[in-house]
Amino acid sequence: MTLFLGKWMKWMLCLAALMLVAGMVLPAAAADEMKPADGAPAVGSSAPAAPVAPAPAFTKEMADAIAGQKIAMDTIWVMLTAFLVFFMNLGFGLVESGFCRAKNTVNILFKNFVVFAVSSVAFLLLGFGLMFGDGNPLFGISGLFFASGADNSPAMGDAYQGVYHALNWTGVPFWAKFFFQLVFAGTAATIVSGAVAERIKFKSFVIFTLFMVAVIYPIGGHLIWGGGWLASKGFLDFAGSTVVHSIGGWAALAGIIVLGPRMGKYGQGGKVNAIPGHSMTSAAIGVFVLWFGWFGFNPGSTMAADGLSIAHVATTTNVAAAAATLSSMIMAWALLGKPDLGMTLNGCLAGLVAITAPCAFVSVPSALIIGIIAGILVVLAVFFFDRIRIDDPVGATAVHLANGVFGTIALGLFADPTVCPAAAVARKGLLLGGGMAQLGPQLLGVGVIAVAVFLLSLGFWYVTKALSNGIRVSEEEEMEGLDYHEHGNSAYPNFQLVERR
Half-sphere exposure of 81 (CA within 13 A, CB side): 26
Shortest distance, CB of residue 104 to other proteins, whole angstroms? 16
198 binds other proteins (CB under 8 A): no
6 binds other proteins (CB under 8 A): no
How far is the C-alpha of 187 from the C-alpha of 97, rounded, in Å? 16
Instruction: Please say which residue, 35 or 338, places its beta carbon nearer to other proteins.
Output: 338
Shortest distance, CB of residue 387 to other proteins, whole angstroms? 11
Angle at the Cα of 479 from the Cα atoms of 475 and 484, rounded to 5 degrees: 105
How far is the C-alpha of 471 from the C-alpha of 461, rounded, in Å? 9
How far is the C-alpha of 208 from the C-alpha of 219, rounded, in Å? 15
494 binds other proteins (CB under 8 A): no
498 binds other proteins (CB under 8 A): yes
**Which residues, 374 to 393, sit near other proteins by CB under 8 A?**
379, 382-383, 386
How far is the C-alpha of 249 from the C-alpha of 403, rounded, in Å? 10
Shortest distance, CB of residue 228 to other proteins, whole angstroms? 37
Instruction: Please say which residue, 223 or 378, places its beta carbon nearer to other proteins.
Output: 378
Stretch that binds other proteins, among 158-166, 339-347, 352-360, 447-455 (CB under 8 A): 339-347
274 binds other proteins (CB under 8 A): yes
**DSSP assignment of 380-410:** HHHHHHHHTT---TT-HIIIIIIHHHHHHHH
Report the C-alpha dihedral over residues 380, 382, 384, 387, rounded to 10 degrees. Answer: -140
Shortest distance, CB of residue 338 to other proteins, whole angstroms? 7
Give strand pairing partners of 140.
135
How far is the C-alpha of 343 from the C-alpha of 283, rounded, in Å? 11
Q: Which of 74, 96, 151, 340 binds other proteins (CB under 8 A)?
A: 340
**DSSP assignment of 203-247:** HHHHHHHHHIIIIIHHHHHHHHTSS-HHHHTT---SS-IIIIIIH
Q: Which of 82, 223, 275, 413 binds other proteins (CB under 8 A)?
A: 275
Stretch that binds other proteins, among 3-11, 47-55, 337-345, 365-373 (CB under 8 A): 337-345
How far is the C-alpha of 197 from the C-alpha of 93, rounded, in Å? 12
Give strand pairing partners of 200.
472
Secondary structure of residue 94 in the 3-state scheme: helix
Q: Which of 395, 412, 434, 441 binds other proteins (CB under 8 A)?
A: 395
Shortest distance, CB of residue 353 to other proteins, whole angstroms? 17
Shortest distance, CB of residue 378 to other proteins, whole angstroms? 11
Shortest distance, CB of residue 497 to other proteins, whole angstroms? 13
Shortest distance, CB of residue 82 to other proteins, whole angstroms? 32
Shortest distance, CB of residue 343 to other proteins, whole angstroms? 6
Stretch that binds other proteins, among 181-189, 297-305, 331-339, 419-427 (CB under 8 A): 331-339
How far is the C-alpha of 177 from the C-alpha of 162, rounded, in Å? 13
492 binds other proteins (CB under 8 A): no
Q: Which residues contact 487 (CB under 8 A, 6 or more apart)?
A: 106, 107, 110, 202
Instruction: Please say which residue, 36 or 269, places its beta carbon nearer to other proteins.
Output: 269
How far is the C-alpha of 131 from the C-alpha of 133, rounded, in Å? 6
80 binds other proteins (CB under 8 A): no
Q: Which of 81, 153, 298, 346 binds other proteins (CB under 8 A)?
A: 346
If we measure between CA atoms, which residue out of 118, 77, 69, 112 comes closest to residue 92?
Answer: 112
* Phi and psi angles of residue 176, each rounded to the nearest 5 degrees, phi first: -70, -45
Shortest distance, CB of residue 401 to other proteins, whole angstroms? 16
- Site size for other proteins (CB under 8 A): 22
356 binds other proteins (CB under 8 A): no
Shortest distance, CB of residue 107 to other proteins, whole angstroms? 20
91 binds other proteins (CB under 8 A): no
Stretch that binds other proteins, among 71-79, 273-281, 351-359, 451-459 (CB under 8 A): 273-281
Shortest distance, CB of residue 342 to other proteins, whole angstroms? 4
332 binds other proteins (CB under 8 A): yes
Instruction: Please say which residue, 209 or 328, places its beta carbon nearer to other proteins.
Output: 328
214 binds other proteins (CB under 8 A): no
How far is the C-alpha of 147 from the C-alpha of 130, rounded, in Å? 9
402 binds other proteins (CB under 8 A): no
If we measure between CA atoms, which residue out of 141, 140, 143, 146 comes closest to residue 123?
Answer: 146
Instruction: Please say which residue, 23 or 337, places its beta carbon nearer to other proteins.
Output: 337
Stretch that binds other proteins, among 117-125, 215-223, 295-303, 328-336 (CB under 8 A): 328-336
Secondary structure of residue 135 in the 3-state scheme: strand
If we measure between CA atoms, which residue out of 356, 343, 437 comes closest to residue 398?
Answer: 343
Question: E strands along 393-481, which residues?
Answer: none
335 binds other proteins (CB under 8 A): yes
Other CB atoms within 10 Å distance of the CB of residue 452: 18
Secondary structure of residue 279 in the 3-state scheme: coil
Shortest distance, CB of residue 348 to other proteins, whole angstroms? 14
Q: Which of 19, 21, 334, 336 binds other proteins (CB under 8 A)?
A: 336
Residues in contact with other proteins by CB under 8 A are: 272-277, 332, 335-338, 340, 342-343, 346, 379, 382-383, 386, 395, 498, 500
